[in-house]
């Protein structure tokens, strides 16, 4: 059956009147929360006012277009808003503030027929009424927002019924009061009043209503339209799809609450929902031995699974949470209750090293390994070995070919092998010579400097805890000396001229000569910095030859670190 799409441009008044008198716009649970701030509200009002003034000045009656809404009628006849909830909610707050000011005792003393007529129009926008009644129910706002807490519902009801609100920290109350102030301020500067402006908004401001007969098509249409609202992400669309596939109202409510909680945790972990979904996709692909190097988009991959009932939603949420919790150990250095590896230095050290690999492809096999094996008896030992082997192999290949495509097929095969192997073979071939590898390490590209410095730092016997999270790359010969002392920039950027150093200490020591830097270096808690001081404390300055000599030593060490085979019985080189 062909999908029906109806699009029509309405004035704001006709747009709200197109809804049956007893009906409301429904903002479903899967929508993002209302989020317009002071700037959005002020800009919106100013745009309307400027459009009105231009219309009065030019008398061109061109009107003003504020965007589109996409709606569909759900299976119980309600009009669900897929796109446009920010605008619809904001318009209702604006019209309620206008009605409140028009209905004040002072205004009523001088109420004209024009004002009475305007108030009747506003009633039709703001509130519902039974079809045979003439009385509008002020306790029944023309919008129903699901998935918000009772406190916010109470605030909206308060605004709807009384035209006032007590919680000035609430976003609805805050924006409502901003509109009242904007109207009052504008009115003071316009002797003729604002009645014509109000009529202009109702009758000359236009909105495009796109009505579709099913949610899937509505979401597809939404994604093809450039609009002024907030873009729905893949996770928003998945939330809406799953929500509509769940039959039980109780299960729907539980799903939405769990999804919101997970979204908050992901955001607090400095991740996006889409990133966590991507890691999850690679994990699911490994379960099906999918090693195709063509990475499908999230929507293309997940939507058929949802619609064909091939994924359990509760299990999905649980596993997404597991993945996010895993990354919280890396990003926030959190501990996971009951998982000893989150307090094991060898594992955490290797995670810290590999986290500086310059693209996302290290994450897919690491997530797969964790999800398959974290309950294994020897997980801590095996995970440490796996991470060490993986980081060295990936880095060695990146030194040869610095692209993700160079390791994509290896990673996908590894994801599959991890499923049944605690210590899978990581087979990544290298075709450049030993000397070429060493030369590239000496002249380390910026995007792998951090991982190489971590490898050096954690090799120090003094480094018995994780590096500070805010460390920076210290140039022993300062970078500005390239111009001032005419030192070749290539020398300045050699690996032998670099150290990991706490941010605060790096700022203090940045432009000093070595003799004065030593005093700052001694304040560091990084072991390799103290090693450097002990090895070079007889020097007053750091010369080009020192940079070259140290670069060769580091290059030799890193080369051996990357090419030595791991003894899996010891978990060491």
How many alpha carbons fall within 13 Å on the CB side of residue 382? 17
- 42 plus 191 within the same structural domain: yes
pLDDT, block means (10 residues), the chain with 573 residues: 75 91 82 88 93 81 83 79 90 96 83 91 91 84 81 89 90 95 89 84 93 72 52 80 85 89 93 95 97 89 91 95 98 96 98 97 98 97 97 96 93 96 92 95 95 97 94 91 73 96 87 83 95 93 94 97 68 44
Domain boundary among 191, 215, 232: 232
- 110 plus 215 within the same structural domain: yes
| Residues 358 and 391: beta-carbon distance below 8 Å | no
Residue 261 falls within a domain, yes or no? yes
Domain boundary among 438, 458, 477: 438
pLDDT of residue 151: 80
- 79 plus 197 within the same structural domain: yes
Looking at the structure of the chain, the number of domains it has is: 3
- 429 plus 329 within the same structural domain: yes
- 420 plus 505 within the same structural domain: no
- 271 plus 374 within the same structural domain: yes
Domain boundary among 408, 438, 468: 438
- 434 plus 469 within the same structural domain: no
Match 């250095």 to its residue by tokens.
333
Q: What count of other Cβ atoms lies within 10 Å of the Cβ of residue 173?
A: 20
Residue 572 falls within a domain, yes or no? no
Residue 322 falls within a domain, yes or no? yes
pLDDT of residue 569: 45
Residue 570 falls within a domain, yes or no? no
How many alpha carbons fall within 13 Å on the CB side of residue 75? 3
**Structural domain boundaries enclosing 214:** 5-232
Dihedral, 412, 413, 416, 418 alpha carbons, nearest 10: -100
Residue 571 falls within a domain, yes or no? no
- 224 plus 100 within the same structural domain: yes
Distance CA(308)–CA(569), nearest Å, equals: 45
Kindly report the length of the chain: 573
- 75 plus 190 within the same structural domain: yes
Residue 569 falls within a domain, yes or no? no
Residue 573 falls within a domain, yes or no? no
β-pair type (143-145, 25-27): parallel
The alpha carbon of 143 is separated from its chain's Cα centroid by a whole number of angstroms, namely 28
Distance CA(168)–CA(165), nearest Å, equals: 7
- 68 plus 16 within the same structural domain: yes
- 24 plus 59 within the same structural domain: yes
- 344 plus 296 within the same structural domain: yes
Residue 298 falls within a domain, yes or no? yes
How many alpha carbons fall within 13 Å on the CB side of residue 199? 12
């Amino acid at each position: 059956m062909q999908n029906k799409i109806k699009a029509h441009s309405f004035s704001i008044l006709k747009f709200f009147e197109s809804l049956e008198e007893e009906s409301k716009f429904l903002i479903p649970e899967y929508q993002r929360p209302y989020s317009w701030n002071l700037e959005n509200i002020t800009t919106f009002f100013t745009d309307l006012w400027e459009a009105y003034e231009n219309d009065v000045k030019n008398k061109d009656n061109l009107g003003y277009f504020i965007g589109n809404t996409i709606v569909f009628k759900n299976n119980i006849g309600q009009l669900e808003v897929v796109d446009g909830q920010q605008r619809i909610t904001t318009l209702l707050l604006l019209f309620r503030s206008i009605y409140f000011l028009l209905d004040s005792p002072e205004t009523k003393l001088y109420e004209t027929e024009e004002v009475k007529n305007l108030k009747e129009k506003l009633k039709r926008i703001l509130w519902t009424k039974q079809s045979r009644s003439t009385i509008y129910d002020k306790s029944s706002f023309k919008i129903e927002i699901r998935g918000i807490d009772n406190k916010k519902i109470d605030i909206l009801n308060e605004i709807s019924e009384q035209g006032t609100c007590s919680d000035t920290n609430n976003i609805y109350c805050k924006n409502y009061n901003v509109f009242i102030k904007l109207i009052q301020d504008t009115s003071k500067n316009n002797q003729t009043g604002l009645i014509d402006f109000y009529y202009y908004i109702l009758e000359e401001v236009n909105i495009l209503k796109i009505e579709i007969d099913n949610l899937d098509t509505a979401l597809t249409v939404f994604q093809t339209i450039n609009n002024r609202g907030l873009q729905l992400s893949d996770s928003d669309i998945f939330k809406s799809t799953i929500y509509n596939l769940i039959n039980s109202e109780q299960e729907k409510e539980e799903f939405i609450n769990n999804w919101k909680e997970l979204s908050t945790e992901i955001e607090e972990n400095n991740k996006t929902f889409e990133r966590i979904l991507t890691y999850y996709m690679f994990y699911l692909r490994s379960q099906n031995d999918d090693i195709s190097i063509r990475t499908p988009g999230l929507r293309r991959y997940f939507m058929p699974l949802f619609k064909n009932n091939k994924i359990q939603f509760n299990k999905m949420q649980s596993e997404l949470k597991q993945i996010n919790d895993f990354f919280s150990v890396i990003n926030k250095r959190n501990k996971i209750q009951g998982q000893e590896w989150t307090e094991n230095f060898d594992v955490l050290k290797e995670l810290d090293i590999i986290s500086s690999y310059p693209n996302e492809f290290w994450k897919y096999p690491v997530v797969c390994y964790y999800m398959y094996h974290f309950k294994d008896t020897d997980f801590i030992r095996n995970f440490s070995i796996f991470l060490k082997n993986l980081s060295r192999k990936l880095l060695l290949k990146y030194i040869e070919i610095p692209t993700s495509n160079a390791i994509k097929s290896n990673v996908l095969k590894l994801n599959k092998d991890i499923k049944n192997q605690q210590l899978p073979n990581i087979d990544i071939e290298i075709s450049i010579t030993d000397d070429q590898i060493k030369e590239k390490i000496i002249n380390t590209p910026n995007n792998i400097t951090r991982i190489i410095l971590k490898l050096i730092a954690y090799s120090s016997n003094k480094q018995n805890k994780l590096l500070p999270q805010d460390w920076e790359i210290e140039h022993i010969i300062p970078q500005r000396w390239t111009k001032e002392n005419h030192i070749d920039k290539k020398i300045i950027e050699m690996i032998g001229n670099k150290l990991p150093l706490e941010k605060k200490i790096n700022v203090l020591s940045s432009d000093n000569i070595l003799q004065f830097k030593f005093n700052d270096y001694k304040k560091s808690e990084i072991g390799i910095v103290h090693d450097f001081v002990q090895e070079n404390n007889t020097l007053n300055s750091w010369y080009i030859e020192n940079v070259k000599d140290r670069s060769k030593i580091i290059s030799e060490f890193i080369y051996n670190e990357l090419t030595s085979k791991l003894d899996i019985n010891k978990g060491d080189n």
